[in-house]
Amino acid sequence: MSSDLSVFARSFGAEAARYAAARPSYPDAAIDYALTGNRGVVLDLGAGTGKLTARLAGRADELIAVEPDDQMRAELARAVPQARVLEGSAEQLPLADGSVDAILVGQAFHWFARPAADQEMARVLRPGGVAGLIWNFPDRTVGWVSELYQATRDQAPVRGEGPRDLELEWFTAATHSWVGWQHELAGAAGLRELTHTWSWVITRSDAEKAAIDDRLRILTTRHAELQGELVRFPLRTKTVRQYRR
């Protein structure tokens, strides 16, 4: 991971509580596609505050969550007490060889060092086990969504629609799925809270954050759909599924 990337990757702990409250979860269809019926030992890798972990709680015989950030991990442990929460990273997993039936990664794979993370994921997965990489992407074809990202002066590393798939040395060729849905927020205030969980906003100065808030208030006055008690944020969720060779 480059130093520029690591600054963004390490930023989330400072806003762990806000992240837990404002960030979207993941649609059932995406999770089911990733798991393909696996109910054994399921690992949520880079689990953050447990957005994905919580959705896996009824889908695994044993649920493990690995997260490197102390503050994010504390939120995770409170939110999903039925999970075994461990400190660790994608590049150094605190798990035995072949001990996991499925690995899911929600909104985190682009931060992993590669190919070290791919090799480590392959190490802990049993042969034939599944890896599912999941991302929520904003639907920027919606006018106000595109304007929102302009207002926050998105300077995060360009990721497109996710990094390349897991290395074929250890995994089968990938299949992909897309699901469209909406994340419901508590009005314009909820939308502001969401933007303050984005790494390129978290890492700004207080003055820059205040300027972003001013632009968001102006944006709200221009769009009726941002003025009610509920704001529906349109998302497209991508799932990449691969199997351990």
| Average pLDDT of the segment spanning 19-25 | 98
pLDDT at position 5, please?
Answer: 56
CA distances to 36, 62, 74, 226 from 121, rounded to whole Å, are: 18, 17, 23, 41
pLDDT over 70 (residue 3): no
How many CB atoms within 10 Å of residue 112? 22
Rounded distance between C-alpha atoms, residue 58 and residue 49, angstroms: 17
Beta strand 62-66 pairing with 125-138: unpaired
What H or E segment, with its residue span, contains residue 240?
A: strand 231-243
Number of H helices, E strands in the chain: 10, 7
Task: Say whether domain 3-138+157-182+234-243 belongs to CATH 3.40.50.150.
Answer: yes
Whether the CB-CB separation of 74 and 47 falls below 8 Å is answered with no
Residues 54, 241, 237, 23, CA torsion sign:
positive
pLDDT band at residue 62, thresholds of 50, 70 and 90?
Answer: very high
Helices 187-195 and 206-222, packing angle to 10 deg? 140
pLDDT in tens, 162-199: 678 999 999 999 999 999 999 999 999 999 999 999 99
Tokens of 8: 């963004």
pLDDT in tens, 113-157: 999 999 999 999 999 999 999 999 999 999 999 999 999 986 544
- 141 vs 1 pLDDT, higher one: 141
Specify the amino acid at residue 232. Answer: R
Rounded distance between C-alpha atoms, residue 156 and residue 48, angstroms: 18
Domain extent listing, the chain: 3-138+157-182+234-243
pLDDT over 50 (residue 40): yes
Residues 164, 10, 72, 82, CA torsion sign:
positive
pLDDT at position 155, please?
Answer: 58
pLDDT at position 162, please?
Answer: 62
> What burial letters (b/e) apply to 45-69, b meaning 16+ CB within 10 Å?
bbbbbbbbbbbbbebbeebbbbbbb
pLDDT at position 68, please?
Answer: 97
| Average pLDDT of the segment spanning 4-27 | 92
